[in-house]
Amino acid sequence: MEDVPPPGTALVEELDKRLLVQLRDGRKLVGILRSFDQFANLVLEKATERIIVGSLYAEVPLGLYVVRGENVVLLGEIDESKDPPHQLRQVSESEIKQARKGEAEADKIKSTMKARMNFLNDFD
* pLDDT 10s digits, 66-120: 999 999 999 999 998 888 788 898 999 889 888 888 888 888 888 888 777 776 6
Q: Is the dihedral of CA 84, 89, 93, 98 positive or negative?
A: negative
Phi and psi at residue 67, to the nearest 5°: -115, 125
Q: Check pLDDT > 60 for residue 1.
A: no
- pLDDT at position 123: 57
- pLDDT of 47: 98
The set of residues, in sequence order, having a beta carbon less than 8 Å from that of 121 and lying 6+ positions away, is none
- Nearest 5°: phi and psi at 48? -135, 150
Return the higher-pLDDT residue of 3 and 49: 49
* pTM > 0.85: yes or no: no
pLDDT for 10-61, tens place per residue? 788 889 999 999 999 999 999 999 999 988 899 999 999 999 988 899 999 9
